[in-house]
Amino acid sequence: MKITYMLEPAYIIFKPTIEAINDVLHMTNCQVKGIKGIPSTNKISFGPGRIRLEFWANCREIYPDVLLENLPELTLKTEVATYEIPRYSAYFDGTINLDMDEQQHFDLRIGRITQTTIDRIECHYWRFLYPVDSNEWFLRIHALHYKDDLGSTHFRNLILSELNGHKLNIFANKINNINWMVIESTEPITYNEMDQRALSLTIAMGFVLGKRYGDFCFHVQSDCPTFVQIDGVEALALQKTKSCPFQILNNNLYSVERWLGQYDYQRYALDDLMKRKELGMRWSYNDEATITTDAFNKLALLCYNSNDMKLAASMLIDGSLLNIEYQKPFFFVALETITSFLIKKESMPLPPTMPQKRFVEEVVPVLLNAMNSIPNLSEEAVRVFSRRIEQNLNSAPNVNKLEACFPKYGYSLTDADKDAIKKRDKTFHGRLSNMEKSLKEQQNEMLSINLRLHKLCSILLLKAAGFSGQVLNNEVMFGIKEACERKESVYITI
């Protein structure tokens, strides 16, 4: 799919959306039904991974509801709208003093607040909004300019996306000191369809930028393509947003330069970077480490079309946040998942250990005769062993499978890459470490393998999405001595 660049900036109406979510974001003094005794003096607050209703009361007024682990359905009513908190979506958090007459602070944690006008069945236009640090894809993903109804022009901000023929817009805007990433449908779709598309796009965005998006989000419903009229709003608490240390696409050359200043043995890589500057490369950022809109959309489409690819791409984000000791099996599962998907997608036959015709004619009869000559074998053993000899014994080893896709996409595995892949079988059979060394002594070796596996998984994902350019060699940037002694480049062209 190819996105056509517009000559004139798009015009996006944003003010009604902000006004609608502000009724929830800054909700105060709402009427609460479903629990007795919550006073009308209260407020909603949002934070990383949480939404909460706060108020002061004494335990006598709301007892025994505070003792319930999960609360019944609640209703919140403001001067503007009525909202529902679904059953089991709220609970009291923190220490509660059961002194019946003491005034104390109550913290009601909430998973979801939904305006009663939200419709999840019929088709509508949707905007999903996520709090972010900034327009984080500025100069990292090719994007367009747009103007808004608040009088601002936003440069290199708007991404036009398309998933199986359905167009969506991604853009960022800053209102009242909060930056929002907005994913917007451009045609009426159901809530579930929008949710799946937004999930695929946030996973793709997170992989590209090295971030797991979360904290909380808003869903805004409209029957107007321009969102001049808002028909419903809901807020959801999400896991905390986390930035991942293993970024595969980093075009910030100042950042890379700083990383390459950690150790003397990285000097060769820093010198190579300086030569790029002498050759006239733009020094603020590396153009070849940016991703095109087309490649970004294909990456999102891989996630949209396959739950396994959603999970694999997410694992590359979350895996880098695990303890170093746990990352290797995590990344091996991701590599196995990505490889299996691509082999099926590309209809790639895996070469057998030896030519199949020769195996059938020369090896199978000898093995069957040898097996049949063994006395006292049960019928079940003969059946199982015969099937394995005839059907799977000549299959390619798992290592060959994990290496199979790289030639297809034009990447030559290094000896270090192959060495990391060979550890697959031992890892999946319970050998997670070197038993002859302490875990502390193995930290650098484990980190090196983790970085290499993350790189290999990332290369397959990017090449499957049609990316051509430069990816970061995190082994060099993190200062893994062995990689630097091999004089590996900090950027790898794929």
Q: Smallest Cα–Cα separation from 361: which of 338, 394, 332?
A: 394
Residue 400 has pLDDT above 50, yes or no: yes
CA distance 398 to 421: 9
Pairing assessment for the beta strands 144-148 and 10-12 based on DSSP bridges: parallel
Pairing assessment for the beta strands 153-163 and 144-148 based on DSSP bridges: antiparallel
Sheet holding 82-85, edge to edge: 10-12, 144-148, 153-163, 166-175, 178-185, 125-132, 216-222, 232-237, 112-115, 82-85, 74-77, 31-33
- What percent of the chain is predicted at pLDDT more than 70? 96
Q: Rounded to whole angstroms, what are the CA distances from 133 to 130, 181, 211, 316?
A: 10, 9, 11, 21
- Binned at pLDDT 50, 70 and 90, residue 126 comes out as very high
Which residues, listed in sequence order, are joined to residue 90 by a DSSP beta bridge?
Answer: 110
pLDDT tens, position by position, 256-273 = 999 999 999 999 999 998
At residue 283, the pLDDT reads 62
CA distance 390 to 383: 11
At residue 293, the pLDDT reads 95
Contact 261, 270 (CB under 8 A): yes
C-alpha angle 271-273-275 in degrees, rounded to nearest 5: 70
Rounded to the nearest 5 percent, the helix, strand and coil shares of the chain are 40, 25, 35
Residue 1 has pLDDT above 50, yes or no: no
Contact 486, 266 (CB under 8 A): no
Residue 397 has pLDDT above 80, yes or no: no
AA letter at 185: S
At residue 204, the pLDDT reads 97
Residue 247 has pLDDT above 50, yes or no: yes
Q: Which residue has the higher pLDDT, 377 or 189?
A: 189
Sequence-distant (6+) residues with CB within 8 A of 80 are 23
pTM of whole model > 0.85?
A: yes
If DSSP codes are grouped into helix, strand and coil, which group holds residue 482? Answer: helix
- Binned at pLDDT 50, 70 and 90, residue 494 comes out as very high
AA letter at 139: L
- Phi, psi (5° rounding) for residue 204? -60, -45
- Residue 390 CB-density burial (10 A; 0-12 exposed, 13-18 middle, 19+ buried): middle
Contact 227, 17 (CB under 8 A): yes
At residue 7, the pLDDT reads 59
Residue 2 has pLDDT above 60, yes or no: no
Residue 114 has pLDDT above 50, yes or no: yes
- Binned at pLDDT 50, 70 and 90, residue 362 comes out as confident
At residue 3, the pLDDT reads 47
Contact 478, 447 (CB under 8 A): yes
Contact 317, 208 (CB under 8 A): no
> Average per-residue pLDDT in the chain?
91
- What percent of the chain is predicted at pLDDT more than 90? 69
At residue 70, the pLDDT reads 78
69-73, 395-399, 469-473: range with lowest mean pLDDT: 395-399
3-state secondary structure 149-171: CCCCEEEEEEEEEEECCEEEEEE
Residue 161 has pLDDT above 70, yes or no: yes
C-alpha angle 117-123-129 in degrees, rounded to nearest 5: 65
Residue 118 has pLDDT above 90, yes or no: yes
- Binned at pLDDT 50, 70 and 90, residue 357 comes out as confident
CA distance 266 to 270: 7
Residue 420 has pLDDT above 80, yes or no: yes
pLDDT tens, position by position, 293-336 = 999 999 999 999 999 999 999 999 999 999 999 999 999 999 99
pLDDT tens, position by position, 186-233 = 999 999 999 999 999 999 999 999 999 999 999 999 999 999 999 999
Residue 312: Cβ within 10 Å count? 28
At residue 398, the pLDDT reads 66
DSSP string, 225-249: TT-SS--EEEEEE-PPPEE-S--S-
- Binned at pLDDT 50, 70 and 90, residue 279 comes out as low
